[in-house]
Amino acid sequence: MTQGYVILAGMRRVPLTVFVPLVILLISAFPGVSQNAQVPPISWTCPMHPDVIEDHKGNCPICRMALVPVRIGYTWSCPVHSVIDEDRAGKCRICGRDLAQMTIAVTYACAGRPKTERLNPGKCADGSAAIPKHRLRAHGNHSPQHGGLFFMASDNWHHLEGVHPEPGVFRLYLYDDYSKTLPAAQMRQVTGTVAGKNVVIPLKLSADGKTLEAKIDGLAPPAADLVAKVKFRKDGPEYRFDFIFPSFSKDVAPSPAPVTISSDLPEKTGELVSQLAARNKEIEGLIQRGAFGEIYVAAFQAKDLALALDARSQELPLAKRAALTAAVERVVRSAWQLDAAGDLGDGDLIAKTYQAFTQAAGEVIAAFPAVRQK
């Protein structure tokens, strides 16, 4: 058995050991509620990659920086009106959209020194209990705000959402690392193109200055396959984003329910091998469909399966165990890279990363030929 995860709308995976206490006891993260409620457990995150969340000390699997402690909670807020802050699902009081679950960092402060925050609760100098506070974490909201496809640029700061709301129209919304709309001055610096069917069309700032738009008449059918290339500054690097629209975008879409990845793994080695092969095939299908934001679920499942097989290395001849461990390490590393590449929405990078992943997964599967024949 290995670590299980829960996948929340618009967010990365979170360990079940972190999530379960929060579901039951999240009220501790909201001012004005009982101070006796249990606090969220300490998790470990990367200072440079806040979407990396572990339940133990270690190093970031992406940049190798030391992970730092954080208490993680969740709030329900409107994707468009961030002033909305609720402790349960519902509708935005301003626009009626479904509230999306967003990640917050929970800290504690004394009433007399509200700006001095600490990780642990306790008593203040005057004997009163420290007050729980929360703030939105960077990358804490990856929910589409207009029913489109949501990606993060590889600068780890800019985010964007592409929508194809009707025939002949492509629209690009741009956000910062907290998924807040870029200010007008920054929007005027953004340039880009959208391409499909060997035709390249420039993206132009909309009349209200809130989006980049392109008329794509004849460029794409309802099942659109479009490539946007964007510069956030005129002298800055160009970023590529692949958008595959199976249908027209709908502005207000219901928030999906959390999806739990079971912590239970098969007991038999042959079933572990079969499931690893199935997850590998599932990732290939997701890439073909352009469902880049869903890749990480199967990738992390495959990672856990590979680690479970590494724990069965004693079933192999001694001479083959080192090769298995090396292949498993590559599965783990490339699973994290698939997670990051899926966020970026770059189809070429995803394909290249998947090539490394599937090769490593294939080597793990091939290491157990006897059980594959059963």
Q: What is the pLDDT of residue 15?
A: 47
The pLDDT value recorded for residue 305 is: 94
Domains of the chain: 5-136 (no CATH), 149-245 (2.60.40), 264-372 (1.20.120.290)
Q: What percent of the chain has pLDDT over 70?
A: 83
Tell me the average pLDDT across 320-328.
94
Query: What is the predicted pLDDT for the residue at 221?
Result: 59
CA 94 → CA 82, 90, 219, 256, distances in Å? 11, 12, 36, 21
Quick one: pLDDT at residue 87? 77
Highest mean pLDDT among 123-127, 175-179, 195-199, 252-256: 123-127
Of the segments 15-29, 30-44, 217-231, 271-285, which one has the largest average pLDDT value? 271-285
Q: What is the pLDDT of residue 190?
A: 96
Q: 147-192, pLDDT tens digit by residue?
A: 899 999 988 889 999 999 988 899 999 999 888 889 999 999 999 9
Per-residue confidence (pLDDT) for residue 174, from 0 to 100: 96
Task: State the pTM of this model.
Answer: 0.63
**What is the structure's pLDDT at 220?**
57
Give the rounded percent of residues in the chain with a pLDDT score beyond 90: 42
More confident residue, 333 or 219: 333
- Using one digit for the tens of pLDDT, what is the confidence trace for 134-146? 777 777 777 788 8
Q: Average pLDDT, stretch 33-41?
A: 54
pLDDT digit string (tens) for 3-23? 444 444 444 444 444 444 444
Confidence of residue 237 (pLDDT cuts 50, 70, 90): very high
Q: What is the pLDDT of residues 62-95, one digit of tens each?
A: 888 999 999 887 778 877 777 777 878 888 888 8
- Reported as a pLDDT band with limits 50, 70 and 90, residue 41 is confident
Give residue 223's pLDDT.
55
Q: What is residue 267's predicted lDDT score, i.e. its pLDDT?
A: 87
User: What pLDDT was estimated at residue 222?
Assistant: 54
Question: Averaged over 269-276, what is the pLDDT?
Answer: 94
For residue range 90-135, list pLDDT tens digits in order. Answer: 888 888 878 877 778 889 999 888 888 898 998 998 999 998 887 7
Q: Is the pLDDT of residue 262 over 70?
A: no
pLDDT number for residue 108: 92
Q: How confident is the model at residue 219 (pLDDT cuts 50, 70, 90)?
A: low
3-state SS record for the chain:
CCCCEEECCCCCEEEHHHHHHHHHHHHHHCCCCCCCCCCCCEEEECCCCCCCEECCCCECCCCCCECEEEEEEEEEECCCCCCCCECCCCECCCCCCECEEEEEEEEEEECCEEEEEECCCCECCCCCECEEEEEECCCCCCCCCCCCEEEECCCCCCEEEEECCCCCEEEEEEECCCCCECCHHHHCCCEEEEEECCEEEECEECCCCCCEEEECCCCCCCCEEEEEEEECCCCCCEEEEEEEECCCCCCCCCCCCCEEECCCCCCCHHHHHHHHHHHHHHHHHHHHHCCHHHHHHHHHHHHHHHHHHHCCHHHCCHHHHHHHHHHHHHHHHHHHHHHHHHHHCCHHHHHHHHHHHHHHHHHHHHCCHHHHCC
Return the pLDDT at 18.
43
Task: Find the length of the chain.
Answer: 374
